[in-house]
Structure 1
């Protein structure tokens, strides 16, 4: 069995209980060394063999997994955040399926959740934004034509942009082609939940300067949208006049 485990956004105590138990039981751990907090590896048992996938190709990763499984070893593939977001797990799962090796996924806390916590923000505010777009800027890796950033920006909802802070000027230009203005609130969250966490708040018109001034070139999220502003409506769910399955609303 191969277990894909979400390591969480960075802080070692934000891995799930299940993920921690799988780490402790593993005979082999292959971890994303450029992003996963190395303190998590302290959970491994003394006999566990640990591989850093930052120095490995897909073929090399798969050989370790397949060889280990054939020897009856328990394998953990430790990915940053939640494996379903930019985790490149589909190609690994397809190879395992071809080899007849069972696998399962243990979800993790994504950095976009940790960023909201750091910002003390609610992405989905009544009358402001009821949708969150998680995406990235096109760089060396292309994005589908219909997912160009300026097209997604046309919705004007909350956006959390991964893997793009090093292209902050291009991100700004694309967002301004959409529904956002230069005065739209935005933030850069560097290494959300890590000890080195840094938050930079401002307006979209200042985004490139925000990144430059603070020397942030990678390992950060860009959050943009009016959810970071001051105006919103109260939730209907807790409105005294709102009837739900559990209580009857009162007339005002």
Structure 2
């Protein structure tokens, strides 16, 4: 990707130029408020503003944070936005976009570590849903992933099995079971997203889940759930009594 003119706003030779007092004062006040009350007490745009301060150290980032929130709809939507869409936003340089993607990757790794532990994954359901939402809720195409568990329901692997189109992902039940046996897993949680935003399961989702369950059960493999992630929330086929 070629550098654009707004890269000049972050050029090293500007490091000696003093930040305007009002900008410096505002940035300091936001940081101090964060340290005093914590991130949960901040508005989404304020937390995004702080994140942008890390990667654009000598510019007011409040207006940019609000622009990004309007464009992408949510805090998560900003970080999950594609590079192609981010590059169209005035004020975001190639360097800034790369840094935002690093922050996204760090958050994803942190989320995975919260469920990838010695504790049974079923004991940290809220963290699991948060992790899946952070990974999939804002994807523009369907993604089918599998969480492979051991006999104590601890995570062995988290793998994206298939990606598809905006409204369909091909899933092959026998391939799912084949990979389960390769990993010596004894339980599964299926997860996929609906880019439309509505997590309600389709008849095809229910049928595919039953096919996998029917193959898995005689082999001693437990299918705990099939979770569907959407922008507006999530749906559990187990919770809906469809599994």
TM-score scaled by structure 1? 0.35
Greater per-residue helix proportion: 2
Higher strand share: 1
TM-score by length of 2: 0.36
